[in-house]
Amino acid sequence: MIYTVTFNPSLDYNVSVEDFKLGHTNRTSSELLLPGGKGLNVSMVLGNLGIPNTAFGFAAGFVGEEIVRRIEEMGVKAEFIWIGDGVSRINLKLKSIDGTEINGCGPVIHEGDVQKLIAKLELLQAGDVLVLAGSIPGSVPDDIYRRIMSEMSGRGIEVVVDATKELLVNVLEYHPFLIKPNHHELGGIFGVELKTREDVIPYARRMQQMGARNVLVSMAAAGAVLVAEDKSVYETDAPKGILVNGVGAGDSMVAGFLAGWMEKKEYRHAFAMGVSAGSASAFSERLAEKKEIMDLYRREFARS
C-alpha cells in the first residue's frame, strides 16, 4: 500500500482575471476550486491511475471538511487528524499573472497532533511505500521528516521524499528510496546554478553519496533526469505540449514513477511513467487522468 503525508493541505482557488489592476475591483473570468498540497496531489494522481492509496494529513474547520470531501470523491482514502482550532488554508492562485499566489497559513499543529500521525505510521508494514511531500507549517518542528524516517528505519518501508533544502538533506542518512528535487532545488543545496541535464547528473550522484538511493530531477521545459540506484542514468527532453498549469506537475511525476515502479520494477519504465504523468498534468487544467498519461506515454516512450 502507498501512503502519503500532507502537513498543510489546502483548497486552491484558481482564478483568471483579465486586465488585472491593483487598487481596483477585479472580476474573475474563470474559477476552479481544487484540493491541494503535494502529498494530496500524489494521492490523487495515483488514484487516477487506479492505484489504491491512503492520504494522511491534518485538517481543521469547514475548509478541512471540504478538502476531505473532495479527495474522497476522487476515490482517495483519507485518514486525517482533525485539529480543534483554526481552519485549513485556502490558497489563491492568479492564473492570468504567472506565478502569482497568496497562500494561507493553515491551523497550528501541536505536538499531540503530531503524535497522532506517528501512531498511524506505526501501523505501516514491510513493503509499504510512504511519501513525504511538501513544506511544513511553522508550528511543526523542522526535523519532522527526519523524525518520521527514523521511526521507519529498519522496517522494510520504502520512503519517498519531495521536499526542499534542510527538510530533504536531513533525511538522507536514512537512505530514502526516492527523492525528487527540481533542478533549482538541487542547485540550491550545493550553491550552484544547474541549467542542463548534463549539469544535473553529477549533483544527483552527490545526493546518492549522501544517502539517497534514487534521484529523480524535474526540469520543466528542459526535461528530466533519473540517477538510479543500479547506477543507470536516464534522461529525456520534455514532451511537446502546451503548458496549461504547472501546479502539481512535479507531484504527478512522483505518482507516475511509483505507478511504473510498482508495475514492472524497471527504472526505465518508472522514469517514462513519471515524465508522462508530470507532463500530462502540466498540459491539463487539473491533475492528469489515466488516459492522458497513457496517451502521452505511448506517444513518447512506447518505442524506446
pLDDT at residue 135 in the model: 85
Tell me the β-bridge partners of 89: 10
Give whichever of 21-30, 104-113, 176-185 has the largest mean pLDDT.
176-185
Mean of the pLDDT values across residues 54-60? 96
pLDDT band at 21 (very low <50, low <70, confident <90, very high): confident
Determine the Cα–Cα distance for residues 274 and 145; give it in Å rounded to an integer: 23
In the predicted structure, residue 304 carries a pLDDT above the cut 60: no
Distances (CA, A) of 170 to 4, 161, 164, 173: 19, 11, 10, 7
> Which residues are catalytic, by number?
251
Write out pLDDT tens, residues 225-260.
999 999 999 999 999 999 888 888 999 999 999 999
Cell numbers linked to 15: 482564478
pLDDT at residue 98 in the model: 67
Mean of the pLDDT values across residues 132-141? 89
Write the Ramachandran bin of 50: left for phi over 0, alpha for psi from -120 to 50, otherwise beta: left
